[in-house]
Structure formats: C-alpha cells, structure tokens
Structure 1
C-alpha cells in the first residue's frame, strides 16, 4: 500500500457505482477489486461468490439490496467505493450513499442505454452536485450501441458527453457470415487501440497503433473532444491557439487536465465503454476514476445548518478545533451482535476512544473501535482521517443522518463543540413509504424480541416505518415497495431470529374531504381543563377551529404560500420587532400565516389574527407554536370515517386562549387543539369524507408490438392514465450541465457496428418504447408478473410515488370492502 494513498487527501477518491438494475454495477466492481489486487479471483453474480453482494438474499436473488463499502488502491490512490442497489425499492440506500460521496460512476447497459432508474439515480447525484463519469457496459452483447448510448446521455440525462474511449471490433466469419466481435477499446486521448486477449482474466492486453477506419474514427472523436473542451475551458483554448488550431497536436496531459477541471465543475461527463463480464475495459475505467473524479479536497466545504428550520447556514472550516463526521448508515452485525456506524469524516481526524458529541440528539458517546470495511469484513484501524469513510463500533444512540462532533488536539470536547451548538450537517432525506404489512409475535414471549428486532430494522433503514393501530393494537411495518418489505420481513425472521407472523402486503391509504368541500366548516370551540399541580387550580385552554378541504390544484399554491410565509417570517425576524416584547433584549417574531403539518396538511392563521404573545408573559412564543403544532398533528392522525391518517386538510385557527393568563405552561393547548380538530372533522357530513390512495408514476419499457396490449391493460383494467408514449432511443434537444442548449443529434458519436443485429445477423431498428402513466398503487401490486405474461417476458417497469388522490365513492367502497 502506497503511503501517499493512505495519508494524502489529494489521492483519496470517495466514489459510488450507480445505475439501473442489471446494468452490471456489481460485476464491474468485482473486476475493479481483482485488478487492484484486493481479491485473488473474480467473483460473479450468477455464481453467487461476489464480495460486494454478501447477504444471502442478495446472492439468492442475484441483485444488490444494501449498499456495500470497500477500500482498495489503484495507481497510488486510495479508493473508497460504495456499490449501490439499482432496484427502485431500495432508493434510500442510493440516497444516503450519494450524500457522502465525492464522485460517481454511472454504469449503462450498452443494449438498453439510459433506463428509467438510471435517470432517477442520475438526478439524485445531480442534486448533490456530484461529478460523474459514465461506463457503457455490456458492449459485447448483441444489439449493443455505444453511439446510441452517448446520444441518450445527452438527450435524456442532459449532460455534455465527452468520449474518452470507443468500442474496438474485429470481424469474424461465423457460419459463413461476417460478424463484428467486441475485443477492446480505442483510446481517443492516446490515439491507440487496446485489445484484450480472449479467454484470459483481463490482465493481458496489447496496445497497438490505429489504422484504417479505426484511425479515422479516432481522429473524429479527438477533434470533437478538443472542441468541446475548448468551448468551456480557458486553458484548453490557450493551448489550442498556441498550436494553430491543430486538434491532434494537443498533448494527452493537456487533455486530461482539461477533462479533470471540467468534470470537477460538472460541465462535462467523460464516457468510457467496456464489457465487465468479459473482463474488457475495466482498467481504463479505474484510470478515469483517479484522473477525473474529485478528491475530498476538491469538493466544497461541508455546510452546517441549524437543527431548527431556519435559513442560516455556515461553512465547516477545515482544520478547526472541532472535528465533524456524518453517520450515513447503521447496520447490525449478526456475527458479533454489535451496531456498526458508517461515517464520513468532514473535518479533523477521528481516533480510537475519542469522545463523540451527537449534535442531533444531544448525547455523548465514545468511539470504542474504528474499522475500515471490506464489504462484510472489517479491519481495525487507529484513526479515520479527514475525507475518509470508516466505521465506528460501540455507540448506542447514533442513527442515520446524525452529526457527530469530536475534539481535535488538546481542546476539550465541551469547548470544541460549543461554537457548533444546535448545528447539523445537511440531513439525509428519507422517502415516504407507501406499502405496509402487519407483523405479530407468535407468542406472548415473542413480543419483546419483535419489538427489539423492529427497532434494529428501523435503525438500519429509516425508510422503514413502524406504526401501531390504536383500535386493533396491530403492529404495521411500512416500506418503499413489495420487495423492500419482503426483504425486511425476511431479515427480521431469518437473520434476527424473531418468531413473528408477517401479514400480506397492504397499501397506505389516507382519509380526507371531497375536493368540492372547500367551504369553511362551522367553527368548533373546544375547552380543555387540566390541573398543572396536585393542589393548584386547573388551567383551561379554549380553541376555536374550522376545517376545509385542500383541492389538488391548491396543493402547489399551498407549498408556494408556505415557502413565502417562511421567508417573510425570517425577513421580519431578522429586522426585529419592537412591539409585543417582554423585555427590550428579546425579539418576538410575528405569527406565521401558514404552518406545514406534513401530509399536505396546514395550520392557517386567518387575516387579522394576532398571536397573543403579550397576553402570556410567562410562556415563550415558541412554546405556544410548538403546542399548537403538536396538537394539530396529533389530531390529524386518525379520521372519523375510515380511521386513517388525514391528508390534505387545512385547519383554520380563529382563536385560542389560556385561563388564567399567567399560566406557567402552554402544554394544555396541545390536547385542546387535538380534540378541536377531531370535533371539527367529525362535524363534516360523512358523505363529504373520502378515501385517498397513493398514485405512482410508472414508466414501462416494452417492444413496439406490445404497446397496444399494455396501454389497454393500464387504462381499462388498472385505472391508469397514460400521459406519454416515447421512443426510448429518441434524441432530444435539452439544456446541458452549464445551461447551454445541447442537441444530441449534433454531437459526434461513432457508428454502432452491432446495434441493429438480430439473432441471425439480420439488421433491424431497435423498437423499444416508453409508456409513462399515473396508476393507483393498488393496481401495481404484483404487476411485474402480469407484465411479463402479456409481453412474453420482454417488458420491464419502474415506478415512484407521485401523490395522493381522492378516490371515487364507488371505488372507495370496493377498496374498503377488500381491506
């Protein structure tokens, strides 16, 4: 191991491999491990002997379920790699991995090109501003098209693609017919061909001079590459002019330098190709990772923000007295029974036995043991330097997304963390679950192990949710999809050894009001009395509240109004308020006109409403707001018709009061508001209360001849609404990374030697189409099996949660009777 790779932050690469399912992420990663010398044999997904897919469920199913981290060295660089899942059900694994990465490798299937989940993970990486390179895999397969894939990168992913290498083909005579066989790559920068020796493990290859058609295409690609870089990089422009506009005279070093600068600025995306399963093209990909993707020092400094919802943010300066790390993944080690916390260190050096302050839940712990993970194996280390990813063992309360602070040097932890009190690193967004299944212990004695097992699952995967039905006492586990819940249940029963019954997968319906019910209901006044102390007189809270429906068209307006209201409050608060203050030193913010309660529910203060801060001098203003929010949120938990969580409801608070005015606490407001919400919703006529169901955005990839059957099935049998029918390979004009319009048809792409060859070498156009539709989630349960049956196994689909919609009365009765 080179010393530079272990100590110099400039030689560290924190990268992830992201892609659609079955694009070849794990296969590519296994080759990286082999060529770097980490493994002695090449693992294959089909044989179930991969390093990265180590869970039994992963090896049995042949898919990646959980993101796995591993560290290896390449060309004196330390590479911390995370292999992520490609299935849409495990999108949270991708989200939390991307959160701590500095760069990403996007793997494309050379035959399928840019697929639906590819667009999803690409967008997630773009939101975090992560530089990416693209590896077009499976170029040895019949129907693979590198040029077509490059055009889709431009057209679908809105990226300025720069071709670094291209496929190299040899012609062979098979059964009397000429066939193009993928055997290597054409190095556009070095103007050489690299040919791998067939039948070897990929370590043996030859570098040859280009000639004939390959030389002509390489020159075209080199000219296009230099011109693209010259458009956006000043240094390349200067070099280009110095050499009298000679594209081929630009040195490889100058091109690599420009590629790195532009990639780090997210202005371009280097594109490479290969066939990982055939051991072709992986070494140039490793070179591209260290040459073009950023080190931690190349990325912007970490951003700290207040735990409270404010707009203030601050940069986390490097080499401060206080170290900082983000816990991005927590797992339970079945062999040792210990909790392992994966962290990315953003500042300082975390050492063994260091004291940790969890700024998210205000607890202090100690890093009893530090490790570097190699998939499911670990190696003990003494420290985790800044910019590195490692694992902490021995913590008790750390959860995904927590910000951990530690002292550096001789400074005490209390003194070091003081300036960062109430601050956190950018949190990890958790998507909303839409499926749920009931879980019950088999015996009374299994209740406690079930509770502990569910706690372990939730700590490992925050995209899982556990709720208790208050009427039935039934425990319900919610997740992102059928497979997600199936894997979670399997882990609970088989890995955590919990004796439990797992019910059938169900859908998370909600309850609301008819869209036309937009008139304000009769206000309800609720009086609640509570004694604050054993011998004291009771404190009485009076709340006047009305409810009204939030129509679908109004949801977007509400979001805009909420954001505008927050900005207005922040602006007013920053200026200060001279009125309604108890002492001149305290600034009291005005009441926000709209409060977001989640689930598209809002608490609204009507025009003319004044928050009675001065009426209650012994209560902090934030206490009043917190009591109102907590009470309203609790009151929306269960409706009065279907007993489901209420969605898309607007609560209009006319007034509230405490008696006596010098009440020592606002806590009695919460139950009063909770009862008021329930009473107001109960007064709404039953026929105005409706069921709401989750609607999914579905993208189905089918052959041309299957379009009619699939669309008919969606519209007639599944209550779906088809809104787009697209040619999967269509190139479009879009806006690129730097905002410049890009025409996918105008860029250089090499000819595709095998893109249109069928089983008998008969040329035909690829005729895959994309059907995009909005479909109720209920109709998508078990859809994959049905889709395969009506498309002879050729159809695939992805789906993501879009929104909740009101259900017609007839459909509601059908749904409710089946639950």
Structure 2
C-alpha cells in the first residue's frame, strides 16, 4: 500500500481541525466527527488545546483510502506556534491549505502559502465554511489568485452558498468554461500540450487535461481549489478523491540504508522520551541499534506505525512511513536517523523568535522544578531557546508572541504544578561585525595562563550566512580534538557579543595554533601541567575571540517586520500618527474603493502594541498582517543584555572563575 504524508495548514480558526475530523469520519475511522467547541477532537489531545479551542502541538492521525495510507498531520494555525508548522514541513509529501469562505485570505495564510511554494510542496486549496452566513467562495478564489498564487483552478462550484444546504458541484469533464481555464493554466507549463492544442483544439481532451493536471499538481506548478464545509461534510468526499488522485504518494527504497528525520518529541506516561519520525529510506526495526543526531547511538525498544486512525505497535516500519519511537533517550527535534535524507527536513523555513521574557516562579522553592519543566518544554520546542543566567538566577525563554507566553504559563501551572509570572516581554536583538579585528595569545608567554596558542581573526560575513569558521593553519598542525574545541567554543562564545546579543553573519578564522605534546615524568605518570588539553583551548578561546571582536567592533541590530494594513479610508488620518509614534515607516499606500492598504516596516517589539490599538482606531475594521523581514541597525543608544556567564571581556574575573588564577592586567 502506498503512503501519503499530508499536512493540513491554515490561519487560526479557518477550520482545519474540524476538517481533519470530517476527513476521518468520511474515511470510516471515527463514527462521529469531534467538535473543537466540545473539546473532543482526535488531534487536539492536550487539555490546554481543548480548553482554548486551538491547536498548539502538531498531531498525526491516519486513514486508508483507494489503496493509499494517508498520514494526516494537523498543525497549529496561530502564528505564535509557527515553529510547530516548521518542523512538519520537511516530512510532507503534500498539503491542504484551508481558507475560510467568510474571512478569506488572512495573514497566516499568506505566510504559509509562500513557504509551501518556496519548498515546492504540492498543495491543494480547500475553501471551508461555505455554509456560513457571509460566505463568498468566488471572492475567496479571486483573493487566492491575487494574493497567493495565480496558478490555481477551481474544480467545481458551490451551490446554495451561505446556507446549511450549501454543496460542492464538480465541473463536468465537458464543461467548456472549465476546459478553457484548464487549457490556459496547464499549457503555460506544458509546451507539448500547447503545441497540440494550437494544431488541433480537439487534442485537449478531458483525459489529456486531467493527466496534465495530475502531473503539474505533483510538481507544485498548479494548485487545484475545492470548497465545502467541515461541519456539514459538503465537498469533503471530493477533497479525499482529489488528495489521492492529485497529490503524489511517497516513493522510497525499503532496502536502502536507514534515513529519517525526527520532527516531534514528547514525553510518555512514565516521563520517557517519545520521538515522531519520518522514514525516507530503509527499514527500521525494533531492537535495531541506530545512529542519530550526528553521532549518538541507541537501541529502538518499541515502535508504532500510524495506521487505521492511530499509532499501532509494530515490529518494523519501511520507507515513507511516520513512526513513533521509544528508546532514544537523548533524541532532539530535527535529529537525523541514520544517514541524512536527500531532502533536508531540519532547515529553517520561518524567522526565529524575536521576543524574549524572563520566567519567575511564584514560589522561590520551585526554581529547580521550573528549570526542569522548561527543559522538557524546550525538548518539544527548541526555538523557545531556554537561556539560564546562573549569576542572576534567572531563566529566559524566546517567544513568537503573547499567546505563546500565556500557553507556557498555563502549561507550567497545569502540567507541572509550577505557577509562574513573566517580566515584560523584550525584543531580541543581534549584533553584526562592522570591521576586521585580530588577536593572538601565545603558549608560555604572559599574560596567557593556558597551555595553548590561539589566534583568531573576525570579519563581517554575508547577510544570512551565519557564523563561518575557517582554518588559517594547516589541518594537521594541531590535534583534531583541539581544533574542534576551538570551533565549538567560538560558536558558543558568539552567543553573546560586546553588547550581550548573539553575533551573526561573520567569518572567524583560526590564524595561529600551538600546543605542548603529552608529557610524562620518568615514572610514566601524565603531567597535566606540562601538556596541553582541550580544556586549555576551551578556556583560552573566549579571551582571544572577544579581544578580536572588540577590535573589529559590532553594531546592534533590531528585528523589523514588514506589515500590510487594511483600514477604512476615513481613519487613515488617525492611524498614521500612531504608526509614526510606534516607529513604523509606511512605504506605500493604495486606495481600494473606500479602504486603504498601507504597507511598510515596523520594529518587531512594537507589533503587539499596534495590534492592541488597531481595533479602537478603526472601529474593529482594520486588518493587520505582519511578519519578520530583516534586521536593521538600532537608532540611538545601543540596547544591551546582561551576560549570563563568565565575561571574557573582563579578564580578571574571567580567569578567577574558569582557572582560579589571575595573570596580567585586567
């Protein structure tokens, strides 16, 4: 049986979880579809998801239809949980992007559509809620073509729109209008079809057009659109048929070396780690000892394969399957199982969190429990970027928005019994190198107290290039363990620059290296005081690197979001001063009937304030879309963040902390 790993994505409240329930019901997996309002859906299993009526964690269910096992992955719709969506994208064969027939294309819809297009994931659009008052599928279809992609074609029409009797009517194969639209759309990507049609219009038969539609949908060149209602079931059977007919089932070699990716980690009833993984190639069996995460090894103690609605215990899983694994105690989200897949699943598709807050326990005695609880949450969502300041006894987490903070608070109180409070949310800045700086400390020469020579040069790198470490010395001139210690410490140290922010987009070159070989006394006892160790290089590298960085200089940059603001024309005069007061810079405005579309940039830290003020300024009619765009230099005094480790910029205190000794001037 073929396997299709299918993601359902949407803006929050577009109805994707309800659609998941309806798909399971139509496929015969459940007797009655669950309700988000009633809190009895199959995929929203967390108590907090049921209470709030939103999806927080991705969930996997499955059903079989037309000889294909469909693994259905329900993802969060709220932008604060975009990290969950990111982890799923790399394991998908296809996607359904749900759009509300009432609200139409919304902010998250645009972001998801652009990402699916960039990754080349075959996608169907489903216009949901056609039975609701105010539904307008034709308007939404125009919005999809205008705002998301022009490469769309509706496979039918809706009758009795906006009533409980609304139903989906597929276009008949011989419909001349539908045939003309298919020819225009498909021939733009198929020269053979175009040539045949020009030579003889009768060559564009329904069968040939359908074959072209299947091929181009599988290559993500075109995107069929269907419509219906998850509540009434209208159009859902047609959607299931389209999924199995138009989206490509996975192909993989069961006999190839094992290759997979972990996209989700959770804790089991006994506190053990449970990993969810997509197998791209090979076969995974219980009791197999596998490599994962670039070097760690463990034995699979149990596995379950998604089949018939839920995970079913099994002995083996082949290529294309999604499995739930036990036994990988050190597993993390994004870990590769076996050899890396041809299609990397761990790369960044969305912007990192741009906000941060300090978490404090209500009861001081709960501080150890708080750290343990946050560490477990970080296993499930690595992008919360847990940061512990032992010097101030503070724990900070990164955020996408205020709703995510509320969810973390409720989770800590409800699941771990640790009530917490949060400090004011702050913006996470970065530092960029502005010049070239170099430094070197020699073994056996003051003020270097360590048994190693390290020389580093720091210079700006390309935007988006991250931190690049280069060797300016011969590879064999130092033991590999010492080179690795220098590189790892460079990357770790750059997590806090001159102003306390992470340093990005730079090139660090190791220009000098030296060590004392292992030496022993006459009786053969190893003498650490005469021999270099990796610890010498780990302790010395921060001193050299921060000296070089100080000579190069850095500039603090703040995250900036690109925004689109739809608002009534008569309130533009009241909104523009507010935008200016929040540091927003309009880049253009367009009059559309009685409304205005304003586009521009706004500091990430001001987006929440704009969201709060917008309803009052626009009588609730303003619609804001905002997403991360770039970092820009901070205007005015550079903000700083206190360091949370031993500060290599202050030599005396650093040496007292790491080596219990002081050498040379401060």
Q: TM-score range by the shorter chain?
A: 0.7 to 0.9
Seen in structure 2, the aligned counterparts of structure 1 residues 530 and 280 have a Cα distance that, compared at 3 Å, is: farther
Seen in structure 2, the aligned counterparts of structure 1 residues 341 and 723 have a Cα distance that, compared at 3 Å, is: same
Q: CA deviation at 1:466?
A: 0.8
Which residue of 346, 353, 363 corresponds with 1:428? 346
Counterpart of 1:344 in structure 2 is 278
Whole-Å Cα distance in 2 between the matches of residues 337 and 618 of structure 1?
43
Does 2:82 match 1:91?
Answer: yes
Q: CA deviation at 1:324?
A: 2.8
Which residue of 609, 615, 624 corresponds with 1:797? 624
Greater CA drift, 658-667 or 132-141? 658-667
Q: CA deviation at 1:101?
A: 1.0
Q: CA deviation at 1:69?
A: 1.2
Counterpart of 1:676 in structure 2 is 544
Q: CA deviation at 1:14?
A: 1.6
Which residue of 159, 176, 183 corresponds with 2:166? 183
SS state at 1:277 partner: coil
Counterpart of 1:110 in structure 2 is 101
Whole-Å Cα distance in 2 between the matches of residues 463 and 101 of structure 1?
21
SS state at 2:90 partner: helix
Does 2:382 match 1:399?
Answer: no
Q: Output the TM-score relative to the length of structure 1.
A: 0.68
Q: CA deviation at 1:689?
A: 7.4
Counterpart of 2:598 in structure 1 is 771
Seen in structure 2, the aligned counterparts of structure 1 residues 657 and 689 have a Cα distance that, compared at 3 Å, is: closer
Whole-Å Cα distance in 2 between the matches of residues 530 and 272 of structure 1?
74
Q: Is the 8 A contact 2:303 2:323 kept in 1?
A: no
Seen in structure 2, the aligned counterparts of structure 1 residues 55 and 181 have a Cα distance that, compared at 3 Å, is: closer
Structure 1: 5+ residue stretches without partners:
1-7, 171-178, 192-217, 302-317, 406-419, 532-536, 563-595, 606-610, 729-764
Residues 694-733 of structure 1: pairs in structure 2 closer than 5 A: 694-715=559-580, 717-726=581-590
Deviations 1:702-725 (A, max 9, x none): 34444443333112x201112243
Q: Is the 8 A contact 1:527 1:672 kept in 2?
A: no
Q: Is the 8 A contact 2:453 2:512 kept in 1?
A: yes
For the pair shown, which has the larger CA radius of gyration, 1 or 2?
1
Whole-Å Cα distance in 2 between the matches of residues 96 and 32 of structure 1?
23
Q: Output the TM-score relative to the length of structure 2.
A: 0.82
Seen in structure 2, the aligned counterparts of structure 1 residues 61 and 542 have a Cα distance that, compared at 3 Å, is: closer
Whole-Å Cα distance in 2 between the matches of residues 180 and 355 of structure 1?
57
Q: Is the 8 A contact 1:437 1:505 kept in 2?
A: yes
Q: CA deviation at 1:283?
A: 1.4
Residues 269-280 of structure 1: pairs in structure 2 closer than 5 A: 269-280=223-234
Q: CA deviation at 1:500?
A: 4.8
Which residue of 445, 450, 453 corresponds with 1:541? 453
SS state at 2:55 partner: coil
Whole-Å Cα distance in 2 between the matches of residues 479 and 402 of structure 1?
22
Q: Is the 8 A contact 2:21 2:42 kept in 1?
A: yes
Which residue of 232, 241, 245 corresponds with 1:291? 245
Q: Is the 8 A contact 1:189 1:255 kept in 2?
A: no
SS state at 1:100 partner: coil
Counterpart of 2:115 in structure 1 is 124
Q: Number of residue pairs matched?
A: 626
Residues 239-638 of structure 1: pairs in structure 2 closer than 5 A: 245-246=201-202, 250-251=205-206, 253-297=207-251, 318-333=253-268, 335-358=269-292, 360-372=294-306, 378-405=311-338, 420=339, 426-430=344-348, 431-441=351-361, 446-497=366-417, 499-510=418-429, 512=431, 526-527=441-442, 539-541=451-453, 543=455, 558-559=462-463, 596-597=466-467, 611-613=472-474, 617=477, 619-620=479-480, 623-624=482-483, 626-638=484-496
Q: Is the 8 A contact 1:88 1:798 kept in 2?
A: no
SS state at 1:225 partner: helix
Deviations 1:162-181 (A, max 9, x none): 221112248xxxxxxxx999
Does 2:5 match 1:149?
Answer: no
Which has the bigger relative contact order, CA under 8 A and spacing at least 6?
1
Q: CA deviation at 1:681?
A: 5.4
Q: Is the 8 A contact 1:360 1:424 kept in 2?
A: no
Q: CA deviation at 1:82?
A: 1.0
Q: CA deviation at 1:122?
A: 1.7
Q: CA deviation at 1:383?
A: 3.5
Q: CA deviation at 1:489?
A: 3.0
Provide the alpha-carbon RMSD of the alignment.
3.9
Whole-Å Cα distance in 2 between the matches of residues 706 and 51 of structure 1?
44
Q: CA deviation at 1:254?
A: 4.6
SS state at 2:231 partner: helix
Deviations 1:522-569 (A, max 9, x none): x655456699xxxxx973425476x77x6xxxx7xx249x6xxxxxxx
Does 2:220 match 1:220?
Answer: no
Whole-Å Cα distance in 2 between the matches of residues 524 and 360 of structure 1?
32
Deviations 1:503-524 (A, max 9, x none): 22422444758x9xx5657x65
Q: Is the 8 A contact 1:527 1:542 kept in 2?
A: yes
Q: CA deviation at 1:701?
A: 3.8
Q: CA deviation at 1:423?
A: 8.0
Whole-Å Cα distance in 2 between the matches of residues 460 and 91 of structure 1?
13
Whole-Å Cα distance in 2 between the matches of residues 500 and 184 of structure 1?
48
Does 2:558 match 1:693?
Answer: yes
Q: CA deviation at 1:812?
A: 5.1
SS state at 1:261 partner: helix
Whole-Å Cα distance in 2 between the matches of residues 789 and 229 of structure 1?
46
SS state at 2:237 partner: helix
